[in-house]
Amino acid sequence: MVGPIERLIAGFRAFHARYYEQRPERMQELAARGQSPDVMLIACSDARVDPALLLGSEPGELFMVRNIANLIPPYGPDHGLHGTSASIEYAVRDLGVRHIIVLGHSACGGIEALRAAMSGKPDAREFMAAWTNIAADACTCDVDGVIPSQQQLELEAIRISLRNLETFPWVVERIEAGVLDARGWWVDLDDGRLCEVSKDSETLRDIVAGTEVRHVAH
Ligand SMILES: [Zn+2]
């Protein structure tokens, strides 16, 4: 029986055959000239939403950060360990990416944890609450004291990340100069749908079908 580690090593063998044996020029070029991706992706660490698999990207195409709940913190240069901000800085200032995509997904465990914390459930984790709290504003209760649905929170967390992205001065500079844009995408794992999340409205659009999607309460 093949264990999980052996399975990964076999996967690397297949990768090696596909790229180093069948198309060595591309890998040699990447190794010699360095990366120059056009797109930065901020995705969730969730094992079900590997962007390279979902989007069929090739080596060198996507500069990626994956963290719990695909969140972007606000700009805050201090002595904290800002892994996501450092990646955004490198992508924008050094690599000069032209597009930034925040990629969220349904049934997100990070958003579930945030929802539980906002519902008053005790938190037994050391790092997650402080991190997911980036999206705390998404949890504003309605007039009846009801916390938004899981899906509403996932979508609003993407909007918050996009707004936070615009607190980085060198991001804003490039957006205003027309050399960088940012967008939010959300994958519905139930029906395999890729949707565009509007930053300023609740509109949700099926990117492949080109149609507007009604909210589905998960
Ligand atoms: Zn997630």
What CATH code is carried by the domain that includes residue 171?
Answer: 3.40.1050.10
Task: Tell me: do 47 and 15 sit in the same domain.
Answer: no
Give residue 4's domain range.
Answer: 1-34
Catalytic member of 44, 115, 139, 188: 44
44 is catalytic: yes
Same domain, 106 and 148: yes
Q: Are residues 163 and 187 in the same domain?
A: yes
Residue 218 placed within a domain: no
Q: Is 48 a catalytic site residue?
A: yes
Catalytic residue among 105, 115, 159, 174: 105
> Quick one: 18 and 40 in the same domain?
no
209 phi, psi to nearest 5 deg: -80, -20
Q: Is residue 217 part of a domain?
A: no
How far apart are the C-alpha atoms of 76 and 97, rounded to whole Å? 21
Where do runs of H (alpha helix) occur along 104-149?
109-118, 128-132
* Annotated catalytic residue, options 13, 16, 18, 48: 48
How many angstroms separate the alpha carbon of residue 188 from the centre of ligand 1?
Answer: 11
C-alpha to C-alpha distance for 60 and 39, rounded to whole angstroms: 10
Instruction: State the pLDDT at residue 216.
Output: 54
Residues 17 and 111 occupy one common structural domain: no
Active site residue 108: yes
Catalytic annotation present for 105: yes
Could you give the number of structural domains in the chain? 2
133 and 87, same domain (yes or no): yes
Task: Output the pTM of the full model.
Answer: 0.94
Instruction: For the chain, give the percent of residues with pLDDT over 90.
Output: 82
Q: Spell out the per-residue pLDDT of the chain, length 218, in tens.
A: 889 999 999 999 999 999 999 999 999 999 999 999 999 999 999 999 999 999 999 999 999 999 999 999 999 999 999 999 999 999 999 999 999 999 999 999 999 999 988 888 877 789 999 999 999 988 777 767 788 899 999 999 999 999 999 999 999 999 999 999 999 999 999 999 999 999 888 889 999 999 998 765 55
Q: Which residues surround ligand 1, an ion (CB under 5 A)?
A: 44, 46, 108, 110
Whether residues 17 and 47 fall in one domain: no
In 37-50, which positions are buried (b, 16+ CB within 10 angstroms) versus exposed (e)? Answer: bebbbbbbebeebe
Q: Tell me if 154 is assigned to some domain.
A: yes
